[in-house]
Each structure stands twice: as structure tokens, then as C-alpha cells.
Amino acid sequence: MRKSLERISWQMRDFAALIDDRGVEVPLLCLSPALVRRLLMEAVFRQLEWAIGGKLGLPARACSDVVHEALASKRYSPLERGTIRAWICRAVWAWVYARSKGHDFPEFCELCGAARDTLFHRLWVCPCLDRQRREAVGDEVVDGIVDFVSKGKQRLVLATRGGMAHPGDEHPPPLEEGSWDVVWSRDPPSENLFQMQGTIFIDGSCSRHVVKELNRASWCAALFSEENELLCTMKCPVWAPLPQTPQAGEFSGYWGATMCLAGPSALYTDCANVKLQHELPRDAQTFFK
């Protein structure tokens, strides 16, 4: 098992914790086996992104989330989505690339005959496809693409393969602890500001980004008196290594609020999954998922 973890740059700190390839602790006693499996799968994909980034000449991992977003969109037909996959996976060879692999093809574009037949020429430059190109992406993109690509090889990769250096390596990662804030609108009942009791409403949210690693989830809990007066609000980001998803925010809100309970309380949520999961018998709540 240790050797398998080393292949994806993970470490086993002890019997109850792993350290992932980003240095984040994965507590095995606090996470379900299904979630650990998901984290391991994500680590495998990060290793593949490093390999792809090296082949594309990028200084970091390759990110193709922009392509995944397009493939998930219903505005493209199955044929169009298949065409996107073919371009991104280099299943479509331009003549110049085919010649570099030893094939005997003409060097110049068979449509216009005015320039070497490269992937960029086919997609963005060939005048024979100018009308279709402008209908697909608009005049502003077509008129500015040559200047955009001239400013670096990374931009050429984005324009022809839909890949770019992964911004997740530069963007601040999700917090592993801290930023758990509590605000009382009146004097708290005890010295411990994080103790609550009564009617509590919980909610979770997620700020989404086209690059999934830049998603950020959080949760909030609000304590009300019997007269429906707001007494306290508590908020916190979803800590790593939990997924940065809306569901993680909803469940973290429930767990965070229950950790702070000081007596009998009623918790209210707008998430059906949270409600159904915690209404189950205790032995059913320990299901591996």
C-alpha cells in the first residue's frame, strides 16, 4: 500500500492519517471510505495533469476544465462534442504535424493554399472558414486571436487544445482549519462563544468556477430565540480535504452546528439529503458512503 501511495506522491503518516500530494492531511477516522477513494482518484488525475503539462510544454499541470465545461453543455450536439474531443486529444492531424511524423502529405492548406496547414491555421486563420468561425465565436475573438497567441506558447495551447497551466497551483488552496467566526447580537450565555442552544437554521453554499479546483464552499448557522429574534450567527469555510461542493457545505453546516450544541435544540435545513441522512437509524448512518 505504501508503494501505491508513493506513485501518486502520497505518504502514510500513521495508521489513522495520510498526507496527500499537496501536503494536506487526510484523517482516515473522520472520512468515509468512499470519500477517501474519491480523494485518491483526484490525486491520480493530478499526476496525469502533470504528465500532460510536460508534453504540452506548460510550466505546471495542464488544466482542461474549460473543455470539460463545453462537453457537459447541452448546446452542443453529440457530433460536435465528439469533434471537440478529437481536436483536444490530437486525433485530428494537420498536414504539418503529419509530415513531422513521416507521412507524405502536402505542407500547405488544401482549402486556401496560402499558408502551412497547422492546427492553429485550420481553427483560426484559414479564410475559407471565416464565416463559420465568426458565427461560432464572434468577431471580437476572431479579430484578436492572432495577437493573443503571439504573447506566449501557453496561449497557443489554449487556443488549439483547450489546455492551460492549472491555476489551482497558484491560487490559495482551501483552508485546513481556522476562519470559524461567530457573532452574537446580545451577550452570550457563557464564556464559550461557540456554544448554542435553541432553534438553529443551517445552510451551505458554494462559489463555483469553471476550474473546479477554484470552487470554494462554506456554511452558516443562525440561532434564534423563541421570539424569532436573531441571537447568533456562525460561519466557516469547508475545510480541506473535504470536497468544495454545495453538498459538502450543507453537511458541514450540520456537523459544525451539532458540535456547538450545549443543550436540547431544533435544527432546520433546506437540504433534503442532510435531513434524510440524519433521520436514519445510527447504524445506517455509518454506511461507507
Q: Can you spell out the DSSP letters for 41-88?
A: HHHHHHHHHHHHHHHTT-SS-EE-HHHHHHHH-TTS-HHHHHHHHHHH
Of the candidate ranges 8-22, 108-122, 273-287, the one whose mean pLDDT is the lowest: 273-287
**One domain for residues 194 and 250:** yes
Read off the CATH number of the domain in which 277 is found.
3.30.420.10
Question: Could you tell me which residue, 284 or 97, shows the higher pLDDT?
Answer: 97
**One domain for residues 103 and 139:** yes
User: Rounded distance, CA 96 to CA 247, Å?
Assistant: 48
**One domain for residues 281 and 186:** yes
| Boundary of a domain, candidates 114, 133, 162 | 162
Per-residue pLDDT, 230: 94
- pLDDT, tens digit, 9 for 90 and up, residues 257-271: 999 999 899 999 999
Per-residue pLDDT, 289: 56
User: Rounded distance, CA 185 to CA 225, Å?
Assistant: 11
Q: Are 196 and 258 in contact (CB under 8 A)?
A: no
Q: How many domains does the chain have?
A: 3
Q: Within a domain: residue 84?
A: yes
Whole-structure pTM value? 0.83
Residue ranges making up the domain that contains 8: 2-55
Percent of residues, the chain, with pLDDT higher than 70: 98
Instruction: Tell me: pLDDT of 287 over 90.
Output: no
Of the candidate ranges 59-68, 118-127, 161-170, 273-282, the one whose mean pLDDT is the lowest: 273-282
**One domain for residues 186 and 280:** yes
Per-residue pLDDT, 286: 63
- pLDDT, tens digit, 9 for 90 and up, residues 136-178: 889 999 999 988 888 887 888 888 888 888 999 889 999 999 8
| Boundary of a domain, candidates 33, 55, 77 | 55
**One domain for residues 191 and 281:** yes
| DSSP codes, 215-245 | -EEEEEEEEE-TT--EEEEEEEEPPTTS--S
**One domain for residues 74 and 37:** no
